[in-house]
């Protein structure tokens, strides 16, 4: 009995240290979460009107920032991520005055012209989303920025956001799929991997970021027993698998204990 329970204890403890139960994301596009990191706000960027500015000025509104990395000629994934952001923010009930949505291009080939084209698409989609919430619902604004290759590399590294070239003609870049919520002073507060985002979680993250709070230790620990799924773009927690295994071990240990208790009188009789 003690031995079986000891095995169960070791398995539970190993959850925090063992490798993921499923294959991780392909090398080069996995997302590394740098909660609490101060972003390099001195970096020079260019807005969709071609005006040079800095990341510090982009953050200089005193509001939490919802940062959406991607690139503006992306045919599929990047548009889905931004659509998910706009839908989640609209459903959150937070007024747009409490946050700022910034799109940042990870592709140095992007220009203010390509940013303007994509900005039109996002603006039209934001208007459609607002209509779902009735007349007078606010339309969420999105500001798009481009940057040089050096600046892009520094920012994506700070975000833990991986980018790697591909051989595909449609999508020339493979990259992480995630949205980052940052505090008004530029510290990373929360990560949202994937392309669809829970409105309540977004609301909580933005409220906390506006208060200067960074993601809790509980949220970090929850990821220790999970892995990033490159298909869904989310962290699939492996804890349930471990709990099923521990449940099986525990049931086996209990059965063994009952069996030994029943045999004990017969073994003692002679």
95 in a domain, yes or no? yes
244 in a domain, yes or no? yes
Encode 214-243 in three state secondary structure.
CCCHHHHHHCCCEEEECCCCEEEECHHHHH
Domain that holds residue 14: 2-18+238-257
Which CATH number does the domain housing residue 75 bear? 3.40.30.10
Rounded distance between C-alpha atoms, residue 101 and residue 110, angstroms: 19
CA pseudo-torsion sign 145, 147, 85, 192: negative
Question: Is the same domain home to 190 and 117?
Answer: yes
pLDDT at 169: 54
156 in a domain, yes or no? yes
Task: Express each pLDDT in 63-81 by its tens digit.
Answer: 999 999 888 888 777 888 8
Question: Is the same domain home to 243 and 212?
Answer: no
Rounded distance between C-alpha atoms, residue 231 and residue 24, angstroms: 11
Task: Express each pLDDT in 87-97 by its tens digit.
Answer: 999 999 899 99
35 in a domain, yes or no? no
**Strand pairing class (226-229; 44-47):** unpaired
Number of structural domains in the chain: 2
Residue in this structure with the two tokens 């773009």, named with its chain if needed: 233
Burial code (b: 16+ CB inside 10 Å, e: under 16) for 74-92 equals beebbbbbbbbbbbbbbbb
Residue 261, burial from CB neighbour count under 10 angstroms (0-12, 13-18, 19+): exposed
pLDDT at 25: 41
pLDDT at 171: 60
pLDDT at 217: 47
31 in a domain, yes or no? no
Question: Is the same domain home to 86 and 211?
Answer: yes
Question: Is the same domain home to 177 and 198?
Answer: yes
pLDDT at 117: 92
pLDDT at 159: 85
Going residue by residue through the chain, which has 270 residues, state the pLDDT in tens, using 9 for 90 and above: 555 445 445 444 544 444 444 434 444 456 778 788 899 999 999 999 999 999 998 888 889 999 998 888 887 778 888 999 999 999 998 999 999 999 988 888 889 999 999 999 999 999 999 998 888 889 999 999 999 989 988 888 888 887 766 665 556 666 677 889 999 999 999 999 888 888 999 999 999 999 988 875 445 444 444 444 433 444 444 444 555 666 677 777 777 778 777 766 655 555
User: Are the beta carbons of 129 and 91 closer than 8 angstroms?
Assistant: no
Encode 134-146 in three state secondary structure.
CCCCCCCCEEEEE
Token pair belonging to 133: 């919430």
52 beta partners: 46
pLDDT at 91: 92
Question: Is the same domain home to 58 and 11?
Answer: no
Rounded distance between C-alpha atoms, residue 90 and residue 219, angstroms: 24
């Amino acid at each position: 009995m003690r031995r079986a329970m000891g095995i169960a204890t070791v398995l539970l403890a190993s959850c925090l240290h063992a490798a993921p139960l499923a294959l991780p994301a392909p090398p080069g596009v996995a997302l590394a979460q740098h909660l609490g990191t101060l972003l390099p706000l001195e970096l020079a960027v260019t807005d969709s009107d071609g005006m040079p500015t800095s990341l510090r000025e982009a953050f200089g509104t005193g509001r939490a920032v919802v940062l959406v990395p991607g690139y503006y000629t992306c045919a599929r994934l990047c548009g889905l991520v931004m659509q998910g952001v706009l839908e989640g923010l609209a459903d959150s009930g937070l007024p747009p005055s409490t946050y700022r949505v910034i799109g940042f291009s990870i592709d140095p080939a992007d220009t203010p012209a390509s940013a303007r084209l994509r900005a039109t698409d996002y603006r039209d989609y934001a208007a459609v989303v607002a209509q779902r919430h009735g007349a007078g619902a606010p339309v969420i604004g999105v500001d798009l920025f481009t940057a040089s290759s050096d600046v892009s590399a520094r920012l994506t590294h700070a975000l833990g956001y991986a980018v790697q070239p591909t051989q595909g003609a449609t999508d020339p870049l493979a990259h992480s799929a995630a949205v980052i919520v940052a505090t008004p002073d530029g510290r990373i507060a929360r990560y949202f991997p994937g392309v669809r985002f829970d409105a309540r979680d977004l609301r909580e993250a933005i409220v906390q970021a506006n208060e200067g709070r960074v993601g809790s230790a509980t949220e970090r620990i929850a990821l220790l027993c999970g892995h990033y799924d490159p298909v869904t773009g989310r962290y699939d927690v492996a804890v349930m698998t471990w709990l099923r295994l521990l449940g099986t071990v525990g049931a086996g240990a209990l059965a063994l204990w009952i069996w030994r208790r029943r045999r004990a009188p017969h073994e003692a009789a002679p």
